[in-house]
Amino acid sequence: MKFNQELAEIGARIVERREKMKMTATQLAIQAEMNYLMQFKDPLKIVTDAWLVENEDSIDFDEQLSWMVWELTDRHDADGFYEKEN
């Protein structure tokens, strides 16, 4: 019984470490992406333009963006999740 418990604990630690490694790899990838984009004067425009090129036939970006901003404002969805300016 003690052996099974130790084995289960080792397994749980392996899974935990594997998840931490995945998170670290994801964070590093995101940081690399941000570093690349932040070297430009208007990184948001670059992302927006790329989005439009990739999705030009399948989405009305202006309409969707307007709706999203309206919904955020109407519901105050960001209030509890994002830090506000003083």
In whole angstroms, how far apart are CA 27 and each of 20, 38, 39, 67, 74? 10, 16, 19, 30, 32
Question: Residue range 53-81: average pLDDT?
Answer: 75
Q: What is the mean pLDDT of residues 7-20?
A: 83
Q: In this predicted model, what pLDDT tens digit does every residue of 25-55 receive, in sequence order?
A: 777 778 888 888 888 888 888 887 777 777 7
Question: 55 with 61: CB under 8 angstroms?
Answer: yes
Cα separation, 44 vs 38, whole angstroms: 9
Name the pTM for this structure: 0.41
The pLDDT mean for the chain works out to: 78
Work out the average pLDDT over 51-74.
74
